[in-house]
Amino acid sequence: MLSVMLKEHQVKLAMRKDEQEIRRKEAVASAMLVSEVLTERLNRGVSEAYANEKKLDTEAKKLQNSASQFSRQTIQWLQIIDNFNQALKEIGDVENWATSIETDMRTIASALEYAYKGNTFTI
């Protein structure tokens, strides 16, 4: 009877060890699954952040290129406007010169006319 009880106890003990081993394997498998899921989600987030960073870098480069191009174009426009202003000043200078010449010519014409009228009376 004692040997039967010992065998039953050993069988139960072996069954418990088997059950514990099965549960341990299930726990390890569950932990691995949780670890994989968490790692996958974390990697997905990191991957999305990296992709977004690359997009931002690309957009920043495009913006920088556009700003540089706009700056160059603005400088060209300013040069064109300066040249136009210089041309207008020159036209104004020519107009003043022409007005001055016209005034001088009228003065000369008046003087000649006066001199001519003065000569007609003395003859």
Q: Is the pTM of this model over 0.85?
A: no
User: Three-state SS for 1?
Assistant: coil
User: Three-state SS for 123?
Assistant: coil
Each residue's pLDDT tens digit, 50-104: 999 999 999 999 999 999 999 999 999 999 999 998 888 888 788 888 888 999 9
Residues 20/21/25/26 CA torsion (nearest 10 deg) = -30
CA 2, chain centre distance (Å): 88
Locate 35 and state its tokens: 């670890």
Q: Rounded CA gap, 5 and 84, in Å?
A: 116
Each residue's pLDDT tens digit, 9-56: 899 899 999 999 999 999 999 999 998 888 888 888 888 889 999 999
Q: Rounded CA gap, 100 and 78, in Å?
A: 33
Locate 94 and state its tokens: 């020519």
